[in-house]
Chain A
Amino acid sequence: QKEVEQNSGPLSVPEGAIASLNCTYSDRGSQSFFWYRQYSGKSPELIMSIYSNGDKEDGRFTAQLNKASQYVSLLIRDSQPSDSATYLCAVPRGSGGSYIPTFGRGTSLIVHP
């Protein structure tokens, strides 16, 4: 089983809609979860982190975590064409003080006007 799984997409939504991006992970002991945005040819940019079950909101972004289901999602409200990018889910794996951020394949989001 892959450590971090994401639907590669593309996910296409109209401008102003809610985009919902999903991620599942295999390590039940994981305690921190991150969403990165990556524009084509650029580096991953951290946009959200979440550590506890439930929702965490930051502007137009909401991260949702369900540890029992090993599922983390990212909602983007009022999607803009500038949100078009690949969204990477990252879950640190490891133990004993050494945790390596491990990335999913990423979901490509296209927001069309």
Chain B
Amino acid sequence: EPEVTQTPSHQVTQMGQEVILRCVPISNHLYFYWYRQILGQKVEFLVSFYNNEISEKSEIFDDQFSVERPDGSNFTLKIRSTKLEDSAMYFCASSELSMNTEAFFGQGTRLTVV
């Protein structure tokens, strides 16, 4: 069964360092999303991506964040200069269409900023 895959599963980084989280969405899906979940809190939307550009982003997704689809399969989230408060689970999701279609999640990357 097709699935969204994310790497790495766990990343530890020092404050101020850049991190890149990687995702391979389901192959025939067109919409891609990044969410984050701080421990004990709700799943929060960061950004959506369609047709090689950002379609929507939340207030959380500031200039420190960027996304890229460098090739036909990968979808990446970059955090330029990590802060302690960036420590969270980061989930990539994809959906075949947008309206009325399910979004499927990868297993997540646990980012710990020390």
Taking Cβ atoms with an 8 Å cutoff, the residues of A that contact B are 31-32, 34, 36, 38, 42-46, 49, 51, 88, 90, 92, 94, 97-106
Contact between B103 and A97, CB atoms less than 8 A apart = no
B28 interface hit (Cβ, 8 Å): no
Interface residues of B in 71-114 (CB under 8 A from A): 89, 91, 93, 95, 98-108
How many A-B contacts if CB must be within 8 Å?
Answer: 64
- Find B98's partner among A49, A90, A99 (CB 8 Å cutoff): A99
Q: How far is the CB of B101 from the nearest CB of chain A, in Å? A: 8
- Given A98-B55, A100-B45, A104-B42: A43 and B99 within 8 A (CB)? no
Return 26 A-B CB contacts under 8 Å, by A number.
A31-B99, A31-B100, A32-B100, A34-B103, A38-B43, A42-B108, A43-B91, A43-B105, A44-B43, A46-B102, A46-B103, A51-B100, A92-B98, A92-B100, A94-B56, A98-B48, A100-B33, A100-B45, A100-B48, A101-B103, A103-B42, A103-B43, A103-B44, A103-B45, A104-B42, A106-B42
Q: How far is the CB of A105 from the nearest CB of chain B, in Å? A: 5
Contact between B56 and A43, CB atoms less than 8 A apart = no
Q: How far is the CB of B49 from the nearest CB of chain A, in Å? A: 11
A7 to B33, CA, bound (A): 26
A31 to B100, CA, bound (A): 7
Query: How many residues on the B side are at the interface (Cβ–Cβ under 8 A)?
Result: 26
B65 interface hit (Cβ, 8 Å): no
Chain A positions within 8 Å of B106 at CB level = 43
- Find A92's partner among B55, B91, B99 (CB 8 Å cutoff): B99
Chain A positions within 8 Å of B98 at CB level = 92, 94, 97-99
A43 to B3, CA, bound (A): 12
Chain A positions within 8 Å of B44 at CB level = 103
Chain A positions within 8 Å of B103 at CB level = 34, 46, 90, 101
Chain B positions within 8 Å of A49 at CB level = 102
